[in-house]
Chain A
Amino acid sequence: MTHRHSILVVEDDPDISESLRDVLESEGYPVITAANGAEALRSLSELGQPCLIFLDMMMPVMSGDEFLTLLRKQERFSEVPVVIVSAWANETRAARALSQGFVKKPASVAALLEAAGGFCGLRDSHLSGEARGAAP
């Protein structure tokens, strides 16, 4: 199954990034990865709108909240759904106001696929409600 839009995974840890890609690609979602916020902004300007961004918070060069603030300032990306994937529940409060969902690390496959299904297709929307607030 292919999707009209891809999912952008912004994550500095290569192993986490790869595992997110594996899980999402196995469900047929095209995945683009970026190692930090700055790289993600470059990818977006080249590739255009993704259907969803999975965003880590703590990253070198440009952190998740810095990325999110800049992203929302660009009119064409002001509505792109962003789901934060982070181990810090408290520190991400401000960023969560600018995002559409939050998945706490260590993330489960069900939570990721529910978010992906909710924003990028209809698959797996019956999965558990671990991706809190992920429904559009």
Chain B
Amino acid sequence: MEHVFKGYKVGAVDYLRKPVDPHAVRAKVAVFVELYRQRKQLESQSEQLRSAELQLRRRAEASLQESEALYQHTFEEAPVGIAQATPSGRFTRVNQRLANILECSADWLIGRQLESIGEADDQAAIAERLARLQSGQSLSAGEHRLATARKSPIWATLTLSALRRGSALRQLIVVVEDISDRKRHELERENFLAVAAHELKTPLTPLRLQAEGLVRELAQGAEPRHDTLLRRISSIDKAARRIESLVERLLDESQLSGGNVHLEREEIDLCAVIKEAVTRVQSDAAHAGSTIDVQSDGPILGLWDPLRVDQAVTNLLGNAIKYGAGKPIEVKIGFEGGTARFSVRDHGMGIAEGELERIFERFERVAPLRHYSGFGLGLGIVRRVVEAHGGRVTAWSRPHEGSEFVVELPSHLPAGEPVQSPELEMHA
């Protein structure tokens, strides 16, 4: 037995007594083979479990990465500014769009307090929004003016939402949408309506005063002189026409701003159209103290819409009279390389360089309203009409030296068509 114990001590698992009984050997081998098989099965199961667990972990990691990438993408690529902030309102993460909206770097924003992005007047209201979230509200949104590093303040919709665990506020999500363009359009619209009402009231005043005055005088038995009567009734007629033309201009502008300008082209002489327009505005120019000098050798023929071209010319002349400070106005008409070119030059107040780009915009007026009335549509109409003809309009101006508007209109006449111009006449 001693040997058996020794054997167990050094790692034996069983023993057989000699002479060996074949039955016992078979039985014992069977037991050990079965034990070995079971151990192998356990090992394999354990291996499977380990690999399944690994796979699950990998899948979870991948899913987490994907989710983070998705969040990152949404966060960075969203067309709105997004930021995360602490419950007290300090930015911990901001997207590039927010930095762009506020014209600063994303790093500069980190650590700053939410309300500090507001304009001075809006900071208290933003702080109030933050306080509402801190006291349990889940969402708070509204329009605010935000300060920007370089430009003037912008209008934005600010949305604050709370991320909570239980009732504890864990994080704030801040969404900032730049709505400056919409606000500007709203403001333009309001201004435009106010100006339109004013413009319509201007001719209504003489219309009402002359009509009421005459009714009153005639009712009292007055016998006004024939020429006085004629002049005053003509003034009523003129005012009615002015109102009509204002209403037409308004309708026309809404049509022009609706997209394509419909042109009815025919062969016309640009010089004749311009001279006619000059004759029409001559009395307005005289009232403002300006003379209009036209330099042309005409005729200059082209396929243009006579009404639209007249409209563009009239607007440019009206502009020169209005801002010409009673100084002479010069109109030059020429033709070169298939393109007619005319310019209207005044010597008035002029336009500052930075404002020159804006003057062709709709409702834009660079002159102060207290001095100059008008819809602010005139130059916008000029540009649209000229561009519809395939031409272009450019402006030159210097403050206190006046402005010059140059219009170029391709003649659109088939090649070989005789186009008379000063140059051609000289060779003839």
A positions within 8 Å CB-CB of B: 13-16, 18-20, 22-23, 26, 35, 57-61, 63-65, 87-88, 91, 105-110, 112
Contact = CB atoms under 8 A, between A and B. Distances in A.
Pick the 6 closest A-B CB pairs, nearest first: A19-B206, A106-B204, A19-B209, A15-B206, A109-B212, A87-B201
A14 to B, nearest CB: 5
Given A13-B202, A14-B287, A15-B203, A23 B371 contact: no
A87 B209 contact: no
Given A22-B232, A106-B207, A15 B239 contact: yes
29 contacts: A13-B202, A13-B205, A14-B287, A15-B239, A19-B205, A19-B209, A19-B235, A22-B213, A26-B217, A26-B222, A58-B372, A58-B373, A60-B288, A60-B322, A60-B371, A87-B201, A88-B198, A91-B370, A106-B205, A106-B208, A107-B205, A107-B208, A108-B208, A108-B209, A108-B212, A109-B208, A109-B209, A109-B212, A110-B212
Contacts of B201: 87, 105-106
- Among A58, A59, A110, max chain B CB count under 10 A is at A58
Contacts of A61: 325, 371
Interface residues on B, range: 20 to 34
B287 A16 contact: no
B202 A87 contact: yes
- Among A14, A107, A109, A112, max chain B CB count under 10 A is at A109
A110 B239 CA distance: 20
A109 B370 contact: no
A15 B372 CA distance: 16
Contacts of A57: 370
Contact of A109 (B213, B222, B369, B371): B213
Given A20-B209, A26-B213, A57-B370, 18 more contacts: A15-B205, A16-B205, A16-B209, A18-B235, A22-B232, A23-B210, A26-B224, A35-B287, A58-B369, A60-B325, A60-B371, A87-B197, A105-B202, A106-B201, A106-B205, A107-B209, A108-B209, A109-B209
B402 to A, nearest CB: 15
A105 B204 contact: yes
Contacts of A106: 201, 204-205, 207-209
B144 to A, nearest CB: 26
B37 interface: no
Interface string B356-373: 000000000000011111
B238 interface: yes
B216 interface: yes
